[in-house]
């Protein structure tokens, strides 16, 4: 069976420890070092699936303090510029010396500046300083987060989801999430339904031999279309195999889903966004019970965002 036209993704780590949901309105929570390590492991697994991610957004110029001047540092591609920035992230989990980069790759438009690679540091990695954007802008820019950076929480009345953003894999998707983060409360963003694993997937999210692939499809669905904002379709970016915990756009968004099973039969229709940093099953069970108690197939849960690390 073909996958329903479902979202581009964020992914859950493979083997998280059992973590209790944070009660709603309990204030900000901090991800443990164990959780952060699992997030990074899951991210590396996904990167290896389609090679090292290092992508940016064309026609965007980020500002910020230069840690390496492009007038003295020229490279052949935006990917090489991105990798140079990533190499300035230490392996100790501390902040990256470079968390954004700007490259001039249009030979005609850039003229004598062709090949310039500016490595920069934003004061707030989740609120980058955008100098200019649009078709007339000759620059390509991107973000880079270290192990303890780019971790946000998605808060609902049923609990909190911790998410690790990976902008080098899906820069357009992460840029949209950062716009939502700046709103503080995402009015209009909702989780509206959940489907169980049924008897088609086991507790590890693996498909049971000879069983149908659904429905039910073992997923949570919702929308990240915020009221008062104009949503622009997200271009197709990173397309890994859908695994348990993946979050994806439906088509080009803003509808999304969180996969609670390993859907190897769904390919080439999704985009990788980020990783959830905690075990999602209790949240899922709570949501299913809520739907059953309400005798309704639709559950509205308004979402808000918090930055866990600066």
Q: Give the C-alpha separation, 113 to 106, whole Å.
A: 9
**What is the rounded radius of gyration, in angstroms, for the C-alpha atoms of the chain?**
20
Q: By 3-state DSSP, what share of the chain in percent is helix, strand and coil, each rounded to 5?
A: 20, 30, 50
Determine how β-strand 100-104 pairs with β-strand 117-121.
Answer: antiparallel
- Report the pLDDT value the prediction gives residue 45, as an integer from 0 to 100: 55
- Report the pLDDT value the prediction gives residue 118, as an integer from 0 to 100: 98
Weakly modelled stretches of the chain, pLDDT under 70? 1-51, 91-93, 184-185, 239, 267-282, 285, 290-310
Q: Give the C-alpha separation, 37 to 113, whole Å.
A: 40
- Report the pLDDT value the prediction gives residue 137, as an integer from 0 to 100: 96
Judge residue 161's burial from the number of C-beta atoms within 10 Å of its C-beta, 0-12 exposed, 13-18 middle, 19 or more buried. buried
Residue 111, sorted as left (phi over 0), alpha (psi -120 to 50) or beta, turns out to be left
- Report the pLDDT value the prediction gives residue 267, as an integer from 0 to 100: 67
- Report the pLDDT value the prediction gives residue 99, as an integer from 0 to 100: 93
Q: Give the C-alpha separation, 271 to 9, whole Å.
A: 5
- Mention every residue, 6+ apart, whose C-beta is less than 8 A from residue 155: 24, 161, 303, 304, 305, 306
């Amino acid at each position: 069976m073909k996958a329903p036209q479902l979202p581009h993704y964020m992914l859950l780590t493979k083997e998280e420890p059992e973590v209790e949901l944070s009660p709603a309105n309990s204030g900000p929570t901090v991800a443990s070092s164990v959780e952060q390590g699992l997030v990074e492991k899951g991210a590396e697994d996904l990167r290896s699936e389609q090679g090292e991610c290092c992508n940016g957004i064309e026609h965007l110029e980020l500002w910020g303090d230069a840690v390496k001047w492009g007038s003295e540092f020229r490279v052949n591609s935006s990917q090489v510029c991105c990798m140079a920035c990533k190499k300035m992230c230490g392996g100790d989990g501390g902040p990256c010396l470079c968390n954004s980069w700007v490259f001039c790759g249009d030979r005609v438009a850039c003229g004598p500046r062709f090949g310039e690679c500016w490595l920069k540091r934003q004061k707030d990695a989740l609120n980058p300083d955008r100098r200019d954007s649009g078709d007339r802008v000759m620059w390509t820019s991107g973000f880079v987060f270290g192990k303890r950076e780019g971790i946000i929480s998605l808060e609902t009345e049923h609990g909190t989801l911790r998410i690790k953003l990976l902008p080098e894999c899906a820069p357009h998707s992460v840029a949209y999430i950062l716009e939502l983060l700046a709103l503080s409360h995402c009015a209009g963003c909702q989780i509206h339904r959940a489907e169980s694993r049924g008897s088609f997937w086991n507790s590890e999210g693996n498909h049971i031999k000879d069983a149908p692939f659904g429905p039910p499809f073992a997923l949570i669905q919702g929308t990240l279309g915020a009221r008062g904002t104009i949503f622009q379709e997200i271009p197709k970016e990173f397309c890994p195999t859908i695994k348990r915990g993946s979050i994806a756009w439906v088509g080009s968004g803003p509808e999304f889903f969180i996969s609670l099973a390993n859907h190897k039969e769904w390919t080439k229709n999704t985009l990788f966004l980020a990783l959830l940093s905690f075990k999602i099953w209790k949240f899922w069970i709570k949501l299913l019970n809520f739907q059953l108690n309400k005798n309704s197939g639709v559950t509205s849960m308004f979402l808000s965002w918090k930055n866990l690390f600066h």
